Structure 1
Amino acid sequence: MSARAWFLFGLVSIVWGTPYFFIKIAVGEVHPTMIVFVRTLLTVLVLLPLAIRRGALRPVLRRWRAVLALAALEIIAPFLLITYGEKWVSSSLAGLLIATLPLLVALLAMWIDVTERASGMRLVGMLIGLSGVGLVLGFDLTGGPAQLLGAALILLATLCYAGGTFVLKLRLSDVSTVAVIAAASVVAVVVLAPAAMLNLPATVPSPGVWLSLAALGLLCTAVALVAYAALITETGPGRATVITYINPAVAVILGVTLLGEPLTATVAAGFLLIIAGSWLSTGGTLPPRLLALARSPRVPRSRPLPDIGGELVG
C-alpha cells in the first residue's frame, strides 16, 4: 500500500477502536436513538460546510440512490444496532465482534465482487475467523438471552458495514469522500430526528456523556468515516477492512482498563482466531516493507573498532 494508505489505515484502526467505549458511557444515560442522532448531527455540522465550499455535492447528489444505500448501511442501521447491542454486551466484546468485518466482506464478495472473493487459504481464513466468533458466542456469553441478542445486533451491524464497503467501492469511489459522507449523514439526521425527539433524556446528562457524544460525532464519525472511505478507495474493501486487526485490541484495552470489563480466556482465544482468520481471508501477507525486511539476508554485525585518538578508525 502507499504511504497515504498506511496513514489512513493507522488513523482509522485506532480511532475506530474507541466508539464502543464512548457508547458504553453514553448509553447509560441517553437513549440509543438520541445518541446516534447527536453523533450524526455533529458529523453533518463538520462535513457539510466543507463539501459545499469545495463544490463537491452536485456529483454526489446525482447518485442519490447510492447515497441512500450508504446512509442505511454505514450509518443508520449499524450505529443503531451497535448502540442498542451495547445495552447488553460489554464494549470490549462489541469491538471483538466488529472484527468479523473482513470475514463478512469475503463472504459477500462471493456474490458481489469477483475481485474480492476468497478461495484457497483465504477461504480457510474465513472459516477460522468464524470459528472464533462461534467460540465467543458459545462459551463466553453468560448473560443469557439478552446478551446473546446484543451480540446478534452487533454482528448484524457488521454485516451492514460489509455491504456498505461495496457501495463505496462500486458506486461512489470516484467522487469526494467528504461530500459522500456529508450527504449520507444528512439523510441519517432526517431519518433519525423524529425518534430522537421522542426519546429526549429526562435529566441533563453528565459531563462524561457530553464528552462521549462529542467524541462519537467529531472523531469516531466525521474524521473516521471520511478516512475509512478514502482508505477503501485507495486499497479496496478487502484490504481496508484489515483495520479490524487493531480495532478490537483498542476496544478491549479501553474496556478492561477504564470500564473494568472482564477479559476471559475464551475472549482472548476467540480474538486470536478472529484476527488470524481475518488476516488469512484478506490475503495473509505482510506489508511490503516488512516482507522485504523479513526476506533480506541477515548480515552478521562486526565488532566495533577501537577508538584511537578520539576518532573512529575503519
Structure 2
Amino acid sequence: MSRRGWLLFAAMCLLWGIPYLMIKIAVDGVSVPVLVFARTAIGAAVLLPLAARAGGLAILRAHWRPLLAFAALEIIGPWWLLSDAERRLSSGMTGLLIAAVPIIGVLVVRLFGDTTPLGPVRWTGLGLGMAGVLLLAAPHLGGGTGWPVVELLLVAIGYATAPVIAARKLAEVPNLLMTASCLTLAALVYTVPAIVTWPRELPSGAVLLALGGLGVVCTAVAFVLFFELIREVGPARAMVFTYVNPAVAVTAGVLLLGEPLTLPVIAAFVLILTGSVLATARQREKVPAVAAVAQPCPAAD
C-alpha cells in the first residue's frame, strides 16, 4: 500500500473510532434528537455542495425507494439508537458491540439468498464473535442497561443490512451523492423532534465541540476520506480499518473519559476482533466465496 494509502487508512481508523467518545460527551448536554439533527445537518451542509452534479436529482428520483431504506438502516434509525444507548453505556463498550457488524453481516447475506457454504473457519469466527458479544452483554441483560444493549444490536443489524441494499440497488448512485442525500433526509426527519427538545440554555463548550466534531470531522470529512481510501486501495482492503476502530474507541474512552478497562472487556475485544477476521475470511473452496459485507460508518456510525 502506498504512503498516501497508509495515511488515509490511519485517518479512517481514528475518524470512525472516536465518534463513540464524542457521542458520549454530547448526550450529556443535549437530547438525542438534537444530537442526531446537528450531526446530519452539519454533514449534509458540507457534503451537498461537493455532491452537486448535473442529473443528480434524476438519479435520486429513480432510486428513491432503496435510498429511503438505506438511509433508515444506516443513519435515521441507528444514529438515534446509538446515541440513546450511550446515555447509559460506556463509549468503549458501545464501540466493541458495534464491532460485531461484520459477523452479523455474514448472517444477513444468507437471509438475502446467499447459499455459499461457510466452512469451518468462518463458523469458528461466528462462534467466537458471538461469544464476545455475549461476554459484554450478559452482565447488563438483567438490569436497567438491558435495553441499551438491545439498541446496539439493532444498530449492528442495520449497519450490516444497509451495505447489502447499497450493493444490490444503489450501485448506479455516486457514493458522495448517496451519502449527502441520506444525511439531508435524516436531518429533515429529525428537525421537528430537535426543535421540540432544543436545550433552553447554551450547552457547554465541550458539548458544542463534540457536536461540531461529529458533523464535520466524523461525518463529512470522514466520508470524503473514505471514498478516497477506496479509490486508493480498493474496497476490500479499505474496509480493514474497521477492525481497528474498536481499539480506538476503547482507548479513547479509557484515556479521556476514565472508563474502566476490565479483563472481560479485553477478552471480549479479542473474541470479537478474531471472530470478525475469521468470519469474513475468504474460503479456499471450489464454491466461490462471497466477499465480506462491508462495515459501514458509526456512525458510521
Could you say which TM-score interval applies, normalised by the shorter chain?
A: 0.7 to 0.9
What does residue 41 of structure 1 align with?
41
* Structure 1 residues 219 and 76: CA distance shift in structure 2, 3 A: same
Please give the root-mean-square deviation of Cα atoms over the aligned residues, in Å. 2.7
- Give the gaps of 5 or more residues in structure 1: 286-314
Cα distance in 1, alignment partners of residues 226 and 98 from structure 2: 15
1:213 is aligned to: 211
The normalised TM-score by structure 2 is: 0.84
Q: Residue 257 of structure 2 aligns with which residue?
A: 259
Shift of 1:21: 0.3
State the one-letter code of the partner of 2:189.
V
Matched, 1:123 2:123: yes
Residue 55 of structure 1 and its aligned partner are, at CA, apart by: 5.3
Residue 256 of structure 2 aligns with an amino acid whose one-letter code is L
In the alignment, what sits opposite 2:169? 171
Q: Is residue 2:233 matched to residue 1:201?
A: no
State the alpha-carbon separation in 1 of the partners of residues 4 and 166 from structure 2: 18
Identity %: 41
- 1:211 aligned partner, one-letter code: L
- Residue 135 of structure 1 deviates from its aligned partner by 1.1
In structure 2, relative to structure 1, the CA distance for the partners of 1:235 and 1:128 (3 Å cut) is: same
Instruction: Note the alpha carbon deviations across 1:162-206, whole angstroms, 9 max, x for none.
Output: 111112211223331110011111111111111111100121101
Paired residues of 1:106 and 1:116 also in contact (CA < 8 A):
no
Q: Does 1:97 align with 2:97?
A: yes
Q: Deviation string for 1:110-161 (max 9, x for gaps)?
A: 122639874331122011101111111124x49x622222122112111111
d(CA) in 2 for partners of 1:4, 1:62: 36
Alpha-carbon distance change, 116 to 206 in structure 1, aligned in 2, over 3 angstroms: farther
Match of residue 84 from structure 1: 84
Name the stretch that deviates more: 169-178 or 155-164. Answer: 169-178
How many corresponding residue pairs? 281
Structure 2 equivalent of residue 158 of structure 1 = 156
**Structure-1 separation of matches of 2:10 and 2:229:** 10
Asked if 1:146 is matched to 2:151, the reply is no
1:53-94 Cα deviation digits (max 9, x unpaired): 565443233211111111101111110000000011000100
CA contact (8 A) 1:102 1:241 kept: no
Residue pair 1:102, 1:278 contacting (<8 A) in 2 also: yes
Q: Give SS of 2:30's match.
A: coil
Secondary structure of the residue aligned to 1:173 is: coil
Matched AA of 1:199? T
In the alignment, structure 2 segments of 5+ residues that lack a partner are 284-301
Match of 1:182 among 168, 180, 183: 180
CA 1:75–1:117: 2 relative to 1, 3 Å: farther
CA deviations on 1:224-252 (whole Å, 9 max, x unpaired) are 3455567789436xx76543311110011
User: Offset at 1:6?
Assistant: 6.4
Q: What's the TM-score once normalised by structure 1's chain length? A: 0.81
Query: Match of 1:183, SS?
Result: helix
Q: Distance in 2 between matches of 1:232 and 1:148?
A: 37
Structure 1's 149 and 116: CA in aligned 2 closer, same or farther, altered over 3 A? farther
- Is 1:51–1:57's contact at 8 Å kept on the other side of the alignment? no
Which residue identity lines up with residue 84 of structure 1 in the other structure? D
Q: C-alpha distance in 1, partners of 2:273/2:116?
A: 18
Question: Which structure exhibits the higher relative contact order, with contacts defined as CA atoms closer than 8 Å and separated by 6 or more residues?
Answer: 2
| Whole-Å separation in 2 of the counterparts to 1:64 and 1:228 | 23
- Match in the other structure for 1:307: none
Return closer, same or farther for 1:5/1:80 CA change in 2, 3 Å cut-off.
farther
| Cα distance, 1:2 vs structure 2 | 9.1
**8 Å contact 1:242–1:282 — kept in the other structure?**
no
Instruction: List aligned pairs for 1:219-258, cutoff 5 A.
Output: 219-228=217-226, 234-235=234-235, 242-258=240-256
Relative to structure 1, the CA distance from residue 67 to residue 158 in structure 2 (aligned partners, 3 Å threshold; closer, same or farther) is same
31-40 or 155-164, which deviates more = 155-164
